[in-house]
Amino acid sequence: MAGAAMAETAATQAAERPLVSVDVVLFTLGGPVRQGRPGLQVLLARRARPPFAGCWALPGCFVGPTESLEVAAHRAIRHLTTARGIYLEQLYTFGEPDRDPRGRVITIGYYALVRADQVQFPAAPAGAEAECAAWFPADALPPLAFDHDYIIGYARWRLRNKIEYTDIAFQVLPDRFSLTHLRQVYEAVLGETLDKRNFNRKVLSSGLLVETGAVQGGQAHRPARLYAFVRRQPGGTIAPVAPGQAAPRQHDHDAGKD
């Protein structure tokens, strides 16, 4: 809420108002193939300014006075990525008073799983301290600024949970993909090997995939069939909703349990 207890006005001194930032944990799949699958990677930016100058940190920025949190989060990665339409999900808000040495900074974390080719790095300015960005294996992160290692750890934990009951895995896949590709996404996020037969049966019976008829070319050996992800058709449900029985309320943030 706002203002029931404290008599705070717009004239409040700046020192009493915390700074508000957003930090984005972008995950992708890539790197060397280990255990038959690529690894989970995290996008980090090298800080050009103190505090923690030269240190790696999550992409982030302060929230503008009339800017929504989602817009700020997109702005934080816009100078690194070309693709629009990345679906960012709010992670958590970190507000411990001592988490930033400059003073009180509250940060709202966002995260997403994206295709690596959606994120392109501009030519890095010269200089050892220059700001630049790179993917790092989630299992071998460099020392990080602030509490960003904790934020990333929490984001990984959420991603592991969310991938079980949301569509989040499809965000990292191209329009057409093989079942093996899809399974590798799950394996990389979950950190474990999945049974191919059980996995295929499950995703095919979910009704979320359609066979495109195309097959994967270029590889040696047997080509894989390619599938496409089909969203639940908006308004095209077979069973009509009973009158008087309101459709479950939609919350555009957080499509699953959490």
Q: Does 232 bind DNA (CB under 7 A)?
A: no
Residue from 8, 96, 175, 195 in contact with DNA (CB under 7 A): 195
With CB under 8 A, what is the number of residues at the site for its own copies? Answer: 75
CB of 57 to its own copies, least distance (A): 5
Applying CB under 7 A, the span of 5-13, 20-28, 178-186, 233-241 interacting with DNA comes to 178-186
* Encoded amino acid at 235, one letter: G
Among 224, 228, 229, 255, binds DNA (CB under 7 A): 224
Quote the CA–CA distance of 164 and 162 in Å, as a whole number: 5
> Which uninterrupted H or E stretch holds 214?
strand 209-215
Provide φ and ψ at 185, rounded to 5°. -65, -50
Q: Is 237 in the site for its own copies (CB under 8 A)?
A: no
CB atoms inside a 10 Å sphere around CB 214: 13
Name which position in 29, 43, 76, 138 contacts its own copies (CB under 8 A): 76
* Partner from DNA, its own copies, none contacting 84, C-beta within 5 to 8 A by type: none
- Beta-strand ranges (E) seen in 58-184 are 60-62, 89-94, 105-113, 133-137
Site track for its own copies across 103-122, x = CB under 8 A: xxxxxx--------------
Q: Which residues of 233-247 are buried (b: 16+ CB within 10 A; e: fewer)?
A: eeeeeeeeeeeeeee
Q: Which entry of DNA, its own copies, none binds 180, CB below 5 to 8 A by partner kind? A: DNA
Q: Which residues pair with 62 in a beta bridge?
A: 21
> CB-wise, 116 or 190, nearer to DNA?
190
Segment contacting DNA by CB under 7 A, of 12-20, 53-61, 88-96, 217-225: 217-225
**Per rule CB under 7 A, is residue 129 in the interface with DNA?**
no
Residue 144 is classified by DSSP as B
User: Per the structure block, which two tokens stand in for 122?
Assistant: 């501009």
Q: Pairing mode, if any, of strands 37-46 and 89-94?
A: unpaired
Phi, psi at 3, each rounded to 5°: 85, 15
201 binds DNA, rule: CB under 7 A: yes
**Contact status: 243 vs its own copies (CB under 8 A):** no
**Range list of H helices, the chain:** 69-78, 148-165, 179-190, 196-205
One-letter amino acid identity for 166?
T
Under rule CB under 8 A, which residues in 37-56 are in contact with its own copies?
45, 47-49, 51
Instruction: Pick between residue 66 and residue 198 the one whose CB is nearest to DNA.
Output: 198
Q: Which stretch binds DNA (CB under 7 A): 9-17, 117-125, 142-150, 222-230?
A: 222-230
Q: Using the rule CB under 7 A, is 197 a contact of DNA?
A: yes
